[in-house]
């Protein structure tokens, strides 16, 4: 399993909390970033920032922000 770092921010930009999630190593970068990781956005009203955990496993996760859906 691939580990991904997740950080949540309030919509004001104030830091809230850090977490890690695990995703399958069989996914490609697009599938990981736009199909699997959004399923783990557990605090829907906050901005979710994702980064790679540097565990050396594929897929490499480019830093990305997921904004709350209105």
Residue 30 parent element (H or E)? helix 29-31
pLDDT of residue 49: 97
Rounded average pLDDT over 10-26: 96
Q: For 32-65, what is each residue's pLDDT tens digit? A: 999 999 999 999 999 999 999 999 999 999 999 9
Name the residue range of residue 32's domain.
Answer: 2-66
High-pLDDT (> 70) share of the chain, %: 99
Q: Is residue 70's pLDDT more than 70?
A: no
Other Cβ atoms less than 10 A from the Cβ of 39: the count is 9
Q: Domain tally for the chain?
A: 1
Give the integer Cα–Cα distance in Å for 18 and 51: 11
Phi, psi of 40 (to 5 degrees): -95, 5
Query: pTM of this prediction?
Result: 0.89
């Amino acid at each position: 399993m691939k580990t991904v770092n997740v950080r949540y921010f309030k919509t004001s930009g104030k830091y809230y909390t850090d977490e890690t999630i695990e995703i399958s190593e069989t996914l490609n970068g697009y599938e990981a970033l736009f199909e699997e990781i959004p399923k783990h956005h557990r605090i829907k009203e906050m901005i979710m920032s994702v980064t790679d955990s540097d565990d050396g496993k594929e897929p490499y996760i480019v830093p990305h922000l997921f904004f709350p859906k209105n």
